[in-house]
Structure formats: C-alpha cells, structure tokens
C-alpha cells in the first residue's frame, strides 16, 4: 500500500514543508502553520497548549484586569460596574478561550488519526490510493491558504466595528464606560472591543475553518471507492469511527456553552432574571452545538444510503433463496429427510444468515451513535451547572431530588 502522506505537503516560503511538521497537523485550522512556527506556538509538529492558553489570557483578560483597576472599576458595590463580578468576561477569556486551545490539540490528533484510517478502507490500487492522496493534499493546501487568514481578519474586523457602532454602552457591563455619565468608552472598554473580542472571534473562526476542512475531507473521501461492508458491526458499513469525532469535540462544546453561560450568569445574578427565562436559549445552544459538529458526518449519508439499499437487496435475496431451499429440504422430502435433523447444521446456518441479514436494516445513514451525541450535549450543558448551584442552594436541590423518590 502506498504511503498516503507521501507527496501531500507543499513547500512554504521558509523552506519548511507542511508534511515535515508531522502527521497530526492535517486539521490544524488557522492561523497557518508558517505563522504558528514564527510565533513559536508549535514544537515538533505539536501545538504548545499551555503557551497558547497563557498568551491568550495575557492578551485578553489580564489587560482588562489592570485597566479596570486603574479606572476604579475593578470592584464596586454595583455588580454591573465591577469587572471581577463580570462572569461573561471571565467565561469568555479565562475559561472558553483556553478550553478551545485544549480542544484544538485533542481534535487535531483525533481527526488526523481518523483521516489515516481511511487508508485501510481504500483499495490498494494506484487509482484509489491517488484519490486519497489528492484529498489529503487538497486539505493541506486549503489549510495553509493565505486568503483564509485575510478573510478571517476582514470578517473579525467587520464584526468588531459593527459591535462598536451598533451596541450601546448601556447594554454592556458598566466598566466599559468611563466616569459616571457612561457616555465615553473606557480604556478597558476599548481594549475589550479592539483586542479581547477580536482575538476570541479569531479563535472561533479557526474552529469554523477546521470544521470546513473536516467536512471537505469527508466529502472527498466519500466519493472514493472504499471497501465498505454493509454488515459491519459498527452499523455504519465500517466508517462508524468518524462518529466518535463528536466525543473529541466535547471540549469545544463546553467552551461554547461557557460563553453563553457567562452571559446568563450576569443576567441571573446581577439583573435579577430568572433561570427559567433562559430555558430555550440553553436548549438552543445544545441543539446548535450538536448539529454543528454532526453536520460534517452527513457527507457520508448518500453513500451509506446506497450501501443500505444494495445490502437490503443482496442479503434479502440471499435470505429468500436460502429460506426456500431450507423449506424444500425439510418439508418437501418427507419423514425420512427429517430423521437426521440432529446431525445437521441447517438450523444454525439459517439463524446465522438471518442475523447477518437483519443487521442490514440497522445500518445508520448518519454514522453517529447516541452515546456520542449525549456526551457532546452533556459537555455543552456542563458550564451551566454552577449557575444552578448558585441560584438553588445544594441542600434545596438535594431535598428536591430526594422528594422525587419518596
């Protein structure tokens, strides 16, 4: 079998090829590998997670802490003015941002390993192997495309400018405004709008780009002539392993949940809103997260639907032919044919065949299992748990749970 990583990299201007960085960099997202190398965010092909996390917090949250301290908004009896009581900023820049970097390291490794597993499903012919190599090369080319960086920067700048122009200061925590009149934006407010928020948006854009790369790769591979088995135990013809990508995305789901949970915490704890007022918002975040990370798997639905139809036809015909022959032999041969039934394995063969044929009908059109969906949904909900414990004391929750079983 050919090496699927051979020849898929292209040489950068610095002379460093993307393939030389390592095999686990296929879905590294944005910024480009060249830029990450210059910023020393990669070491021997592996992202320096701790360094990225610290750098993000030092650029987004720490300056806000210092500036609000200088401007007298670090802590105040008025919760909406105190930066230390702004759970939204804390969730975005201290929890969600660093969590996305950890999730990135996990996903780069898991998704790249899944990409390599397709080499086992691809027939060992030159044409089929070249198709897989071309798919890998296409992803690496897009991953390092300079236009992607320019496009992301333009989108982030547009969003930041639009937020400054359209969102009034009265709708933001009071530390965004200087003085008591709240007309002018504070230095901390400017840093939040021009540095902290754009960096978070760039990080989120990197995840969108990674999902697009993952989707395109699955789409390209789904068009190849893969050795798929309709009766495979994973109920997905042998590609069920890509459904476990949802578990790799759990940390990213928690990060998205944390961003929303921080905003909800401010509303509930500072503005007197009820937790029940956000039921639909929380449910929407969970549904959005599950759909977002499950959507790339739909690229295989058409192929799996064709395999299901072919399997139902072929194995159904085989089961019918066997059943007719079975009945003819046992019921058409008279008493003499049934005397030696204990010495024959016809019944065992029939049972085995029908079990295999029955498995065809359980083939999943979308290669994902319920446990992976529940894991991702639970990870997205996890950041909302502290709010529940703050609003409802633990003893009250314990009494409520006990009351359900009494």
Q: Are residues 329 and 211 in the same domain?
A: no
Q: Assess contact for 256 and 96: CB atoms under 8 A.
A: yes
Task: Give dist(CA 195, CA 72) in Å, integer.
Answer: 21
64-73, 125-134, 272-281: which range is least confident on average?
Answer: 125-134
Residues 321 and 222 in one domain: no
pLDDT of residue 272: 82
In the numeric block, which tokens belong to residue 191? 């840093």
Give the rounded percent of residues in the chain with a pLDDT score beyond 90. Answer: 40
Question: Is residue 38 in a domain?
Answer: yes
User: How confident is the model over 147-177, as pLDDT tens digits?
Assistant: 877 888 899 999 999 999 998 888 889 899 8
- Residue whose pair of structure tokens reads 């789409």 in the numeric block: 219
Residue 282 placed within a domain: no
pLDDT exceeds 80 at position 211: yes
Among 227, 254, 288, the domain boundary falls at 227
- pLDDT at residue 169, rounded to an integer: 87
Question: Has residue 115 been placed in a domain?
Answer: yes
Three-state secondary-structure class, residue 74: coil
Residue 138 lies in a domain: yes
**Is 330 inside a domain boundary?**
yes
Burial 219-258 (b: 16+ CB within 10 A, else e): ebbbebebebebbeebbbbbbbebbbbbbbbbbbbbbbbb
Look at residue 256 in the predicted model and tell me its pLDDT. Answer: 97
In terms of residue numbers, what domain contains 89?
1-227
Q: Taking a C-beta distance cutoff of 8 angstroms, is the pair 65, 74 a contact?
A: yes
Statement to judge: residues 62 and 178 lie in one domain = yes
Q: Spell 50-62 as b/e; 16+ CB within 10 A means b.
A: eebbebbbeebbe
In terms of domains, do 328 and 197 share one?
A: no
Q: Of 179, 200, 227, which residue constitutes the final position of a domain?
A: 227
- Can you give the pTM of this predicted structure? 0.81
100: in domain: yes
Encoded tokens for 106: 């996990």
**Do 208 and 328 have their domain in common?**
no
Are 379 and 251 spatial neighbours (Cβ–Cβ below 8 Å)? yes
Asked if 4 and 116 sit in the same domain, the reply is: yes
The yes-or-no verdict on residue 244 having pLDDT over 60 is yes
Structure confidence by residue, pLDDT tens digits, 108-148? 889 988 988 888 888 767 677 788 888 888 888 888 787 87
* C-alpha distances in Å from residue 341, one per residue of 76, 90, 321, 322, 326: 88, 74, 20, 17, 12
175 and 321 share a domain? no
Q: Do residues 206 and 334 share a domain?
A: no
Residues 388 and 218: their CA atoms lie apart, in Å, by 39
Q: How far, in Å, CA of 248 to CA of 238, rounded?
A: 19
Q: What pLDDT is attached to residue 42?
A: 62
Answer whether residue 248 is part of any domain. Answer: no
8 Å CB contact between 150 and 32: no
* Exposed/middle/buried for residue 134 (C-beta within 10 Å: 0-12, 13-18, 19+): middle
Cα separation, 217 vs 302, in Å, equals: 15
Q: What is the mean pLDDT of the chain?
A: 80
User: 3-state class of 216 per DSSP?
Assistant: helix
| Cα–Cα distance, 160 to 61 (Å, whole number) | 17
Q: At a CB cut-off of 8 Å and minimum separation 6, what does 79 contact?
A: 85, 269, 270
132 and 16 in one domain?
yes
The pLDDT confidence band at residue 283, using thresholds 50, 70 and 90, is: very high
Of 196, 227, 258, the last residue of a domain is: 227
Q: Is residue 275 part of a domain?
A: no
Whether residues 178 and 321 share a domain: the answer is no
- In angstroms and rounded to an integer, the radius of gyration of the C-alpha atoms of the chain is 28
Which of 63, 70, 22 has its CA nearest to residue 46? 22
pLDDT, residue 2, reads 41
Residues in Cβ contact with 217 at an 8 Å cutoff, skipping those fewer than 6 apart: 26, 27, 115, 135, 136, 138, 139
| Whether residue 51 is found in the same domain as residue 196 | yes
Among candidate residues 82, 90, 68, 63, the one with its CA nearest the CA of residue 194: 63
Phi, psi angles (nearest 5°) of residue 173: -55, 145
> What's the number of domains the chain is made of?
2
């Amino acid at each position: 079998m050919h090496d699927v990583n051979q020849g898929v990299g292209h040489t950068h201007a610095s002379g460093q090829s993307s393939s030389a960085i390592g095999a686990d960099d296929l879905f590294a997202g944005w910024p480009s590998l060249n830029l990450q190398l210059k910023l020393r965010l990669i070491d021997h092909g592996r992202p320096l997670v701790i360094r990225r996390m610290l750098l993000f917090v030092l650029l987004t949250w720490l300056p806000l802490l210092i500036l609000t301290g200088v401007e007298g908004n670090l802590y105040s009896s008025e919760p909406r003015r105190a930066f230390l009581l702004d759970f939204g900023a804390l969730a975005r820049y201290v929890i969600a941002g660093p969590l996305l970097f950890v999730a990135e390291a996990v996903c780069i490794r898991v998704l790249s390993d899944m990409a390599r597993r397709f080499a086992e499903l691809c027939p060992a012919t030159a044409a089929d192997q070249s198709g897989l190599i071309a798919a890998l090369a296409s992803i690496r080319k897009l991953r390092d495309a300079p236009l992607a960086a320019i496009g992301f920067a333009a989108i982030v700048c547009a969003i930041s400018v639009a937020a400054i122009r359209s969102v009034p200061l009265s709708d933001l925590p009071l530390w965004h405004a200087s003085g008591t009149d709240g007309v002018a934006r504070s230095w901390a407010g400017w840093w939040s709008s021009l540095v902290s928020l754009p960096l978070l948006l760039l990080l989120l854009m990197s995840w969108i780009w990674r999902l697009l790369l993952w989707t395109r790769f699955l789409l390209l591979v789904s068009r190849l002539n893969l050795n798929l088995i309709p009766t495979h135990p994973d109920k997905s013809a042998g590609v069920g392993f890509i459904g476990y990508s949802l578990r790799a995305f759990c940390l990213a789901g928690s990060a998205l949940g944390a961003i929303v949970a921080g905003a909800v915490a401010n509303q509930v704890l500072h503005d007197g809103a009820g937790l029940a007022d956000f039921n639909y918002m929380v449910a929407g975040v969970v549904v959005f997260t599950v759909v977002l990370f499950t959507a790339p798997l739909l690229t295989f639905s058409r192929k799996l639907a064709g395999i299901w139809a072919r399997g139902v036809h072929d194995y159904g015909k085989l089961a019918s032919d066997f059943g007719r022959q079975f009945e003819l032999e046992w019921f058409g041969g008279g008493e003499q044919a049934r005397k030696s039934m204990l010495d024959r394995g016809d019944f065992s063969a029939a049972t085995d065949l029908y079990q295999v044929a029955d498995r065809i009908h359980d083939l999943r059109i979308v290669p994902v299992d319920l446990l992976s969906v529940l894991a991702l949904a639970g990870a997205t909900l996890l950041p909302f748990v502290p709010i529940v414990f703050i609003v409802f004391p633990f003893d009250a929750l314990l009494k409520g749970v006990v009351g359900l079983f009494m």
